[in-house]
Structure 1
Amino acid sequence: MSELIQAVINSEEKSDLRSFVSEIRHQEKRYLLRNDILSAYADYCDKHQKSEDFIQSSNLSKLIYYTQEILQEDGNLCLIIRPKIASQEVYRLTEDLNAEELSVQELLDVRDRFVNRYHPNEGDILELDFQPFYDYSPAIRDPKNIGKGVQYLNRYLSSKLFQDPRQWLESLFDFLRLHQYEGSQLLINGQIQSQQRLSDQIKKALTYVGKLDSEEPYEKFRYALQSMGFEPGWGNTAGRVAETLEILDELIDSPDHQTLEAFISRIPMVFKIVLVSAHGWFGQEGVLGRPDTGGQVVYVLDQAKSLEKQLQEDTTLAGLDVLNVQPKVIILTRLIPNSDGTLCNQRLEKVHGTENAWILRVPLREFNPKMTQNWISRFEFWPYLETFAIDSEKELRSELRGNPDLIIGNYTDGNLVAFLLARRMKVTQCNIAHALEKSKYLFSNLYWQDLEDKYHFSLQFTADLIAMNAANFIISSTYQEIVGTPDSVGQYESYKCFTMPELYHVVSGIELFSPKFNVVPPGVNETYYFPYSRWEDRVESDRARIEELLFTQEDPSQIFGKLDDPTKRPIFSMARLDRIKNLTGLAECFGKSPELQEHCNLILVAGKLRVEESGDNEERDEIEKLYRIIDQYNLHGKFRWLGVRLSKTDSGEIYRVIADRQGIFVQPALFEAFGLTILEAMISGLPTFATQFGGPLEIINDKVNGFYINPTHLEETAEKILDFVTKCEQNPNYWYEISTRAMDRVYSTYTWKIHTTRLLSLARIYGFWNFTSKENREDLLRYLEALFYLIYKPRAQQLLEQHMYR
């Protein structure tokens, strides 16, 4: 980038740079983000009547395109430039247009000065740098392979096998000897004492099973294999045993990454899984729509069901029915004594439709019962996580009769609990962030002190740093969740370098090229969410009841608004009422377009109807705002707001009823990490308009199986929806085309079967990697513990002291 800057300075474009910088300096904004920069440059080019060639091809235009942020400081400009994904350079541009490169530390000082939080005479601020802990681990080189960690790891491991076969085959042999299930030896027994003996016995066993009928049940020849040194775990039939042994034989003779993954994915080593979802109202009925309770609960429940089913299938295929192996999945959450009619005060609850998946609720220690016996906001939950983890460890050991094989954290608090549990129990840890708040709240780290009373970001971001670096592997729903797009910074990427003024500087917060990152999108629960056209699976009485609820029922306690013409095409959305979900933005978008109101009604399913019924500050603000918008744009007769909590059955049918009327679904979030409601709508057959900020970019192919919207541009969003509606009125087949492509998209990519098969494969491969690499993570874990005890815990204690007086 320095060459590009010099190319501008050393050419005729220098005068344009000087003029543009001058106009920037006269702006009110002193901190410009990419959209601000591009908008200012477009205005400059328009004002000075620049040619299309200049706008498209000049070096200055290229420089502006790559500039992510501009800070004004004492007449100088600080340019943060992102020449490519997961890469950043910083330059100071002086008043006389000299450019000097700044270090990360200098950039963080600039940001501190910008918010008047820089005190050079009070000593240096704590710097956090995780890069040294990644220097001795394999790293991905090409940014396009970020999120394909396991593929890279398999190639790396197989190349090691190839380079030093003796050492790595010994490691593989030692790994195979490890596996047991509740005291019963799996895979190989004491008759096989060396790698060479293993290789010989594999060939002997292959000759033996090759003579059997491929469908011969394992129990018929179990003891013959046992005499050769092979215990249960190779397969449930002669054919399956032969396949597994052949893969291992090939791996020993000519290792490659596909063979390695195929073999490791078959090793029976995961039987007991804990999913941590600590905050919110976690239950199967009566919880959706409550504060902090939405897509994450749906995700974790569906994942638990699918994991249990996949574990059972894998166990049977491995031939472990002879040992009566019973996989178990536990969802760990908090118990809420004042449960408001839900089952959140019940210690143990079986997950519907499963044999051995359970919700285990562990109570918080009392401290102040006024707090701990009630729901606690995710922004206030931090003081209770350590003791919750300690108490949960005892409960989990009791329920599982030992340790789990895998702990999966969900959201920041769940990931921190997963770290504490995995550290104590010496178990593989997987993180799923769902959404990192740092990306959702603009400048949240820079102005954290101003926001601390409400959001406690110092605790949240510290917990994020601890958990993401501790995890053995991380699952994201999309690539851009990790490193964004060429135009935007990813959620994890935002943790690479940032300041919490007067608390600490993060010089290198996460290694984005680490193979720990894997993109594994979730699926849709096809029991509840399926196409509107599958009439044989729909219940007529449910359909009629939901149709009445949506369009005609009058019930002031849970419905606001009566439609003048219920036959108009419905625009529908369903989400929590919080600022980020932006349902008020959709209402305003609808209100600003009289043309859209002529063609459509707007129907929202969202939270509570009354401020006094909500205990969540943000929800209360959004309720008030929604009423103001309804009155301001006189939406009475065209707008309907349902403050209802829906069962999953009703939630699925509501999409289908909207589809019956050829309606559309709009997801207007200011930011969406992934978007389960988008998948639910699409699989139901609803043409879907979704935010262009976040995960929907990877779900939807714009104008092919859905549409992108910029939720901050209300008039433009209204025009896009109106354009679609107009096309549908002119050509009724257009709605069906988009509807069909939406369904096809989900079925091809977003099923829970695909998700859990991949997740379990990852768990096994990272377990193998941890064993064979002998990677010493103790130094990293000690560093993270120091961060926990010296930064996180004292701040959590301060918040707890505030809670004691509430």
Structure 2
Amino acid sequence: MSELIQAVLKSEERSNFRQFASLLRSADKKYLLRNEILQLFNEKSEQFSDSPNLQKLIRYVQEIILENDFFCLIIRPRIAKQEAYRILEDLTVEPMSVQELLDLRDRFVNHYHPQEGDVYEIDFAPFYDYSPVLRDPKNIGKGVEYLNRFLSSQLFQDEKKGQVSLYQFLQLHRYNGLQLLINERIRSTEELSDRVKQALGIVSDRDPNDPYQTFRFELQDLGFEPGWGNTAARVRETLEILDQLIDSPDHQTLDAFISRIPMIFRVALISPHGWFGQEGVLGRPDTGGQVVYILDQVKSLEKQLQEDLELAGLAILGVQPKVIVLTRLIPNSDGTLCNQRLEKIYGTTDAWILRVPFREFNPHLTQNWISRFEIWPYLETFAIDAERELRAEFQGRPDLIIGNYSDGNLVAFLLARRLKVTHCIIAHALEKSKYLFSNLYWQDLEDKYHFSLQFTADLIAMNAANFIISSTYQEIVGTPESVGQYESYKSFTMPDLYHVVDGIELFSPKFNVVPPGVNEAVFFPFTRTEDRLLNDRERLENLLFYDDDPEQIYGKLDNPDKRPLFSMARLDRIKNLTGLAETYGQSESLQERCNLILIAGKLRTDDSTDHEEISEIEKLYEIIDRYQLKGKIRWLGVRLPKIDTGEVYRVIADREGIFVQPALFEAFGLTILEAMVTGLPMFATRFGGPLEIIQNKVNGFYINPTNYEETAEVILEFLDQCDRDPHYWSQISQRGIERVYSTYTWKIHTTRLLSLAKIYGFWNYTSQDHREDMMRYIESLFYLLYRPRAQGLLAEQLQRS
């Protein structure tokens, strides 16, 4: 990128660059972000029309920081790559190191103190020297594919060493003390190869459909225990893959074989934050989407595990999987079951919610729900107590731990470290990306958000995890125009606390994109009338359009037959339902053609304790009054059971309505999938995950929720096309349904997740020594940085109570 800067400065474009620098100096702001830079440049675009290199350079600039005698260009020449340059008054260009850039940001907020010595630096880069890294940014998020190629080449480069590792790995597997796969009759890698060929002779002579138990003892005499398959055909396929892996190993064969091994019987999913249950918890602050995601994932996980274990031939041993969601027990549970230790998950055989209470350091707080921003002091002891409870429920260790959100990911690290278990994390959303400059101004925000703890916990968890599940590619590294959520942790400053020089290796194969699915029993196309219940349909139609209940409904529609413009979300700033109401209020054309229907939590500020929700409630009422929307808008302050949510979407679709998802940022967008699969044309934010779900103008539409006029134009253009072509609504509807079924099902998700867990479990086994130094570094961050701050927060909470 320095070459492009020099191309500008050593040509006739130099004068235009100087003009642009002067333009920057005249701006009110001293710290400009990409959109502001582009807006400033475009306002004077005529002046720079003859400067193609300058135009190209500006497109790559992410930030500009102005100081007295120079300004700093922070450039993102490509995804996952950042460079910084100091431009002096005489237009001399000097590259800046990461440390210099972080110092500059500290100076910008008046927290640079060189006389007090160097600030503490966090740098994970040296610990990734031991592990493979991808080269092409396009392959980020496809880590396991690269890992398999790397493993097979490294592991079997020394054929003898690779075979020994494989042999030892096969010896490990047991279930409740029962040996699986191979027993002591196979004493070496040479014997393993010979016995595989003998076993193939036995099963090849049998009818492919012969059950495993009819030839079990013949294989046992050779040294093979259950786990190879449930029929002669399945056993033969598995043994043939192993035979090929021994004789001529490659990454596809390794993947195929490891994916078949019965390694996972017990899974623990960690979500300690609270209000985790099946009834009466949705709509609580911070919990709704995560609860829905995990419960759907659990049901699919159990089903897939049952299928895998059946195929492995373990039914004869009575092997059944068990799945536990670990959360906290809340004594003051507000009428929910959150004060019960165990709760069976509906629709499962052996899946449970296990609730462990926080220790009573501060009973005034721990008896009740605790905000995700205040939870940090209780997580370490929660992990210690939870280990004992999990061991008791599983009657042993889990085989896989899955962390959820920042708090769950930290607990997953603590548990996995103590239990020596493979673990993965799922961020769902990282707060650092949601709150602009949250790290730079952390001290001003600490009383409310405690970002110093959260961002430290994120760094610990993402580096400790064996693998990371993201819902989209851009969750990791963004787009050419925007920085990804994980990418934002690459380098940043927490002034007066620490500098992150290298916070995460974005090219690590630990990253894998595995999007969630939809619950197909609840969310299905509105055209499947045979699966819909007439009573539910009528009841919810009345709720949406006709019922008069001031306790939970605001607004009576003048003309209920207008096309419904529908949205459903929490009332918080990021979800931006007030922005949608503003869009509707500013567009008389939308008001003439549509009613706005919102399902949005609460109607009254007195019913909420969440400051952000209270602010949004007040704002929504103000917008309704300002634009005189009475008779055109209907606001339902209800919490719907999931099964009703699916039918609500279908009722809107019956009237050829549309769904608008106006979030300022959406990490993924599960509601988008749920609405699309029911048949609703989707209009969703272009900021975040929806960019990867929707194909614009094919099966949905992008909107810029910050531009009300443009959003209205996109919707009106669709409505105009519907008027011109009576089949257009149905075409978009059907394409949305097809998009979900082809890519976003829980079957696809859990099959992939379990395959990843096995591959990374194998990788973890073969490279334990290479991870220990990183884990020791992570522990030092936890005990020397995280724990003292958590204890400090606890002291503050005790003073407040």
Q: Same fold (TM over 0.5)?
A: yes
After the TM superposition, list the runs of 4 or more consecutive aligned residues in structure 1 that deviate by more than 6 angstroms: none
Whether the aligned pair in 2 keeps the contact of 1:692 and 1:710 (CA below 8 Å) is: yes
1:224 partnered with 2:214: no
> What does residue 790 of structure 1 align with?
784
Give the partner amino acid of 2:559: D
Whether the aligned pair in 2 keeps the contact of 1:25 and 1:75 (CA below 8 Å) is: no
Whether the aligned pair in 2 keeps the contact of 1:280 and 1:291 (CA below 8 Å) is: no
Question: Could you say what secondary structure the match of 1:88 adopts?
Answer: strand
**Alpha-carbon separation, structure 2, partners of 1:601 and 1:338:** 40
Give the partner amino acid of 1:16: N
> What does residue 12 of structure 1 align with?
12
Give the partner amino acid of 2:141: G
Shift of 1:774: 3.9
1:754 partnered with 2:748: yes
Give the partner amino acid of 1:565: N
> What does residue 37 of structure 2 align with?
37
Shift of 1:370: 2.2
Shift of 1:778: 1.8
Structure 1, unmatched stretches of 5+, are none
Give the partner amino acid of 1:6: Q
Question: Could you say what secondary structure the match of 1:795 adopts?
Answer: helix
> What does residue 529 of structure 1 align with?
523
> What does residue 297 of structure 2 align with?
303
Whether the aligned pair in 2 keeps the contact of 1:161 and 1:255 (CA below 8 Å) is: no
Whether the aligned pair in 2 keeps the contact of 1:377 and 1:616 (CA below 8 Å) is: no
Aligned equivalent of 1:518, options 507, 512, 516: 512
Whether the aligned pair in 1 keeps the contact of 2:472 and 2:514 (CA below 8 Å) is: yes
**Alpha-carbon separation, structure 1, partners of 2:357 and 2:570:** 25
Give the 5 Å matches for 1:396-415. 396-415=390-409
> What does residue 265 of structure 2 align with?
271
**Alpha-carbon separation, structure 1, partners of 2:706 and 2:138:** 29
Cα deviation code 1:293-339 (max 9, x no counterpart): 22111110000000000111011000001111111000011111111
Give the 5 Å matches for 1:199-598. 199-598=193-592
Aligned equivalent of 1:67, options 50, 54, 61: 61
Give the partner amino acid of 1:25: R
**Alpha-carbon separation, structure 1, partners of 2:722 and 2:371:** 43
Aligned equivalent of 1:158, options 137, 145, 152: 152
Give the partner amino acid of 2:506: L
**Alpha-carbon separation, structure 2, partners of 1:782 and 1:100:** 37
**Alpha-carbon separation, structure 2, partners of 1:401 and 1:246:** 34
Shift of 1:368: 2.4
Shift of 1:743: 0.3
> What does residue 24 of structure 2 align with?
24
**Alpha-carbon separation, structure 1, partners of 2:693 and 2:644:** 24
- Identify which range, 102-111 or 87-96, moves more after superposition: 87-96
**Alpha-carbon separation, structure 2, partners of 1:242 and 1:533:** 44
Whether the aligned pair in 2 keeps the contact of 1:603 and 1:639 (CA below 8 Å) is: yes
Give the 5 Å matches for 1:168-207. 168-207=162-201
Give the partner amino acid of 2:611: N
- Identify which range, 784-793 or 185-194, moves more after superposition: 784-793
**Alpha-carbon separation, structure 2, partners of 1:259 and 1:765:** 12
**Alpha-carbon separation, structure 1, partners of 2:551 and 2:333:** 21
TM-score, normalising length: structure 1? 0.98
- Identify which range, 253-262 or 158-167, moves more after superposition: 158-167
Question: Could you say what secondary structure the match of 1:265 adopts?
Answer: helix
**Alpha-carbon separation, structure 1, partners of 2:768 and 2:32:** 46
**Alpha-carbon separation, structure 2, partners of 1:162 and 1:184:** 29
Give the partner amino acid of 1:535: T
Structure 2, unmatched stretches of 5+, are none
TM-score, normalising length: structure 2? 0.99
> What does residue 131 of structure 1 align with?
125
Aligned equivalent of 1:735, options 712, 729, 736: 729
Give the partner amino acid of 1:31: Y
Shift of 1:730: 2.3
Question: Could you say what secondary structure the match of 2:479 adopts?
Answer: coil
Question: Could you say what secondary structure the match of 1:777 adopts?
Answer: helix
Cα deviation code 1:233-289 (max 9, x no counterpart): 000000000000001111111111111100000011100000011114111112111
**Alpha-carbon separation, structure 2, partners of 1:464 and 1:663:** 40
**Alpha-carbon separation, structure 2, partners of 1:592 and 1:413:** 40
Whether the aligned pair in 2 keeps the contact of 1:70 and 1:80 (CA below 8 Å) is: yes
Give the partner amino acid of 1:33: L
Shift of 1:161: 4.1
Whether the aligned pair in 1 keeps the contact of 2:156 and 2:163 (CA below 8 Å) is: no
**Alpha-carbon separation, structure 1, partners of 2:355 and 2:230:** 36
> What does residue 781 of structure 1 align with?
775
Cα deviation code 1:769-803 (max 9, x no counterpart): 11123443222111111111111111111211222
Whether the aligned pair in 1 keeps the contact of 2:425 and 2:465 (CA below 8 Å) is: yes
Cα deviation code 1:184-224 (max 9, x no counterpart): 00000001011111000000000110010001000111111
**Alpha-carbon separation, structure 2, partners of 1:358 and 1:187:** 29
Give the 5 Å matches for 1:653-802. 653-802=647-796
**Alpha-carbon separation, structure 1, partners of 2:167 and 2:307:** 25
**Alpha-carbon separation, structure 1, partners of 2:152 and 2:609:** 55
Question: Could you say what secondary structure the match of 2:468 adopts?
Answer: strand
**Alpha-carbon separation, structure 2, partners of 1:704 and 1:260:** 38
Shift of 1:606: 1.0
Question: Could you say what secondary structure the match of 1:602 adopts?
Answer: strand
Cα deviation code 1:594-649 (max 9, x no counterpart): 11111111111111111111111111111111111111111111111111111111
Cα deviation code 1:529-570 (max 9, x no counterpart): 000000011000000000000011111111111111111111
Cα deviation code 1:77-104 (max 9, x no counterpart): 1000011111111001111111100000
Give the partner amino acid of 1:36: E
> What does residue 80 of structure 1 align with?
74
Question: Could you say what secondary structure the match of 1:673 adopts?
Answer: coil
**Alpha-carbon separation, structure 1, partners of 2:738 and 2:522:** 17
Question: Could you say what secondary structure the match of 1:83 adopts?
Answer: strand
Question: Could you say what secondary structure the match of 1:690 adopts?
Answer: strand
> What does residue 803 of structure 1 align with?
797
Question: Could you say what secondary structure the match of 1:234 adopts?
Answer: coil
> What does residue 115 of structure 2 align with?
121
**Alpha-carbon separation, structure 2, partners of 1:336 and 1:727:** 52
**Alpha-carbon separation, structure 2, partners of 1:574 and 1:76:** 48
**Alpha-carbon separation, structure 2, partners of 1:130 and 1:772:** 21
Give the partner amino acid of 1:486: P
Shift of 1:44: 1.5
Whether the aligned pair in 2 keeps the contact of 1:131 and 1:508 (CA below 8 Å) is: yes
Give the partner amino acid of 2:206: L
Question: Could you say what secondary structure the match of 1:412 adopts?
Answer: helix
**Alpha-carbon separation, structure 1, partners of 2:199 and 2:505:** 44
**Alpha-carbon separation, structure 2, partners of 1:75 and 1:713:** 36
Whether the aligned pair in 2 keeps the contact of 1:405 and 1:427 (CA below 8 Å) is: yes
Question: Could you say what secondary structure the match of 2:523 adopts?
Answer: coil
**Alpha-carbon separation, structure 1, partners of 2:595 and 2:29:** 39
